[in-house]
Amino acid sequence: MTSTLPAVTTAKAPAQRRPVPGTGAHRRVEPPSRLRSSRTDLILCGVLLVAILVVQGWNIGDYPALSDDEGTYLAQAWSVQQGNGLAHYTYWYDHPPLGWIQIAVLTWIPALISPESMTVGTMRAAMLVISGISAVLVYVLGRRLALPRWAAALGMVFFGLSPLAVILQREIFLDNLAVMWTLLAFTLAASPSRHLWHHFGAGIAAATAVLTKETMLVVLPALFLTMWRHSHRDTRKFALTGAVTACVLIGFSYPLFALLKGELLPGAGHVSLWDGVKYQMTRPGSGFILDEGSGSWGVLQSWLYYDKVLPIGGLAGALLLLVTWRWSVTARALAGPALAVAIFAALALRPNGYLPAMYVIQALPFLALVLAGGTASVAHAVLSRWRSEAEKRYVGVSRYALAAVLALAAGAYVVPRWYDGARTAVTTDANAPYKAASKWLATEVEDPERTRVLVDDALWLDLVHQGYRPGLGVIWFYKADLDPAVTKTMPRGWKDLDYVVASPTVRRDAADLPNVKAAMEHSDPVATFGTGEDRIEIRQIQTSAGGAR
């Protein structure tokens, strides 16, 4: 047999050195090299995973309320499964398509066994897989970033059980998928073996994240920093170049796809990637986040309504890590996630940026990690900093007492709030009106196949399963005004329709959509489900003759 020479001096190459002048301790806390064979880690992570899956999965279809975006992505995933291309209407490069392609793969087998189960409420179950993987990755990443076991577990708890996380991770959002890929990228970037192909894989995972939700682009500098810190100086050049190359080349497949379809640049009679990007870049801003009354302020308040601990605590954690950078090993180990939080915070603070409600999803794992890291830092400061052999016994005791008091106080603040959040999530039924409306349209309408109805995206697939013609029979309401292929089939405008299902989304957006607005004005409710703002009305179009068409 043949072999290579043994290593020069030591069996293991020296760990990376950080040339920070003027400070003493630069020991690098070695992350555990084999989590797989650590029984304690496996048990801890497994137990937490079960808890997270139970809290997130219980009542997942009934709470929170179905959102339009979920319907959009699931309907497009359905279209992919049907072999109808990337969308059931013209795909117009609003987002890269990899996200709903993944949803299509994820829901493929259940949809094959029971096609009618392909509705938003049911298919939310698929998101549990994503949440589960992401939560485990948060733990593994925490460990790889040298967090002690309890702190990594705490990070996983923050990420998976914060009421804000529970509500957002249940929903079929591209952001959730993108977060999973980003976490994978970070985990690979922090690989303890510092393997070239792990870093290469991190680049691929990062590109996948960006192709899932393009806004993940902004977190790439933090990923780069993580990789820089975790690579060895002898192989860093190759590792980083490999990762960047992989990321860029995979990323280029999106414009390449557009090029191959002849849709890269604007032109007559077709959509283009260029127009899609332009649309995203010029979306009207939602105001300054700290300006009371602005749209962004409202979005922020909606996050804080569910949970203050993770967003505010996370920001505070990031700040603490930043301030203690010079002294704290933990702070330096968590540089990547802290930078990610800083980037997300800076973008949210743009004076007139566009801040969508799911923006915070992408920040959740990093908030969780820096909050856990900050907690670990504080714990370390309280329990062991400036500790010497000669320390008096009463000092040691008071250290533990202080730690216990802090832990109890934090628990007393967090646990009741999170308990309430979890209870709401597992008991509330927010989607009863949707289900009732869907049932009414299935049973009360005589000839669904010849009926034309405007609905919001969340309800669209339900009606498809109930025999309405996908696309032109059951119509995404805004396509009635914005898609020439649809308006062409409505020469008489609202008169060519039979029903409009007025959900909160439809009522809100009708103001800017002439056909929808007219349909609303020329219709009367024949059935109403729910009350107040959240009610869903099924409105039948009235022709000039005074009756139904």
Partner 1 sequence: MLTSVFIAAVSLALFWMAAFTLWWQMHAWRTPEVLASTRFSSPDGDEHVSFSLLLPARHEQAVLDHTIQRLLESSHTGFEIIVIVGHDDPETTAVAEQAAARDPRVRVVVDRHEKKNKPKAMNTALPHCRGDVVGVFDAEDQVHPELLAHVDHAFRTTGADVVQGGVQLINFHSSWYSLRNCLEYFFWFRSRLHLHAQKGFIPLGGNTVFVRTNVLRDADGWDPDCLAEDCDLGVRLSSIGKKVVVAYDSDMVTREETPGSLMSLLKQRTRWNQGFLQVYRKKDWKQLPTLGQRLLARYTLMTPFMQAFTGLIIPLNVAIALFLDVPVGIAFITFLPAVTALVTFVFEIVGLHDFGKQYGLRVRFAHYLKLVVGGPFYQVLLAGAAVRAVWREQRGRNDWELTSHVGAHLDETAMSRQDVPVTREDVPA
Binding site for partner 1 (CB under 8 A): 1-9, 12-13, 193-197, 232, 234-235, 237-239, 241-242, 245-246, 249, 253, 256-257, 260-261
Residue 462 vs residues 434, 458, 459: alpha-carbon distances, Å: 10, 8, 5
Instruction: Give the nearest distance from C-beta 474 to partner 1 in angstroms.
Output: 28
Nearer to partner 1, 224 or 494 (CB): 224
What tokens appear for 340 in the block? 């990610």
Choose among 508, 517, 498, 515: nearest CA to 536: 508
3-state secondary structure of 476: strand
3-state secondary structure of 71: helix
Dihedral sign computed on CA atoms, order 110, 114, 119, 121: negative
Q: Are 142 and 365 in contact (CB under 8 A)?
A: no
Query: What distance in Å separates the CA atoms of residue 419 and residue 310, rounded to the nearest whole number?
Result: 15
Nearer to partner 1, 117 or 253 (CB): 253
With respect to partner 1, which residue has the nearer C-beta, 9 or 40? 9
Q: Which is nearer to partner 1, 195 or 469 (CB)?
A: 195
- Whichever of 197 and 440 has its CB closer to partner 1, that residue is 197
Q: Which is nearer to partner 1, 172 or 204 (CB)?
A: 204
In this structure, how many other beta carbons lie within 10 angstroms of the beta carbon of residue 3?
Answer: 5
Residue 483, exposed/middle/buried by CB under 10 A (0-12, 13-18, 19+)? middle
Closest distance between partner 1 and the C-beta of residue 430, in Å? 40
Nearer to partner 1, 254 or 418 (CB): 254
Cβ proximity to partner 1: between 15 and 405 the closer is 15
Residues 6+ apart with CB under 8 A from 121: 61, 62, 66, 431, 434, 435
Q: Please, which residue, 83 or 546, has the CB nearer to partner 1?
A: 83
Q: What are phi and psi of 179, to 5 degrees?
A: -65, -40
Nearest to 109 by CA among 129, 93, 90: 129
Residue 64, preceding bond cis, omega within 30 degrees? yes
Return the sign of the alpha-carbon dihedral for residues 267, 269, 275, 276: negative
Which residue lies nearer to partner 1 by CB, 59 or 84? 84
Minimum CB–partner distance for residue 251 and partner 1 (Å): 12
386 token code pair: 């400036």
CB nearer partner 1, residue 16 or residue 528: 16
Phi, psi of 454 (to 5 degrees): -90, 125
In the complex, the smallest distance separating the C-beta of residue 85 from partner 1, rounded to whole angstroms, is: 10
In the bound complex, what is the minimum distance in angstroms from residue 204's beta carbon to partner 1? 11
Q: How far is the CB of 504 from partner 1 (least distance, A)?
A: 38
Nearest distance, CB of residue 219 and partner 1, angstroms? 23
Whole-number minimum distance, CB 267 to partner 1, in Å? 18
Q: What is the DSSP string of 513-537?
A: -HHHHHHHHTEEEEEEES-GGG-EE
Minimum Å gap between C-beta 66 and partner 1 is 32
Residue 263 near residue 271, CB atoms below 8 Å: yes
- DSSP H or E run through 313: helix 309-323
Backbone angles phi, psi at 447, to 5 degrees: -130, 75
Strand-strand pairing, 499-502 and 536-541 = antiparallel
What minimum distance in Å lies between the beta carbon of 11 and partner 1?
A: 8
CB atoms under 10 Å from CB of 18, counted, come to: 10
Q: How far is the CB of 250 from partner 1 (least distance, A)?
A: 8
Nearer to partner 1, 257 or 440 (CB): 257
User: How near is the Cβ of 210 to partner 1 at its closest, in Å?
Assistant: 17
| Other Cβ atoms closer than 10 A to 515 | 24
Element (H, E) at 300: helix 295-306
Q: How far is the CB of 268 from partner 1 (least distance, A)?
A: 21
CA neighbor of 212 nearest in space, from 163, 184, 174: 174
Q: Choose between 3 and 443: whose C-beta lies nearer to partner 1.
A: 3
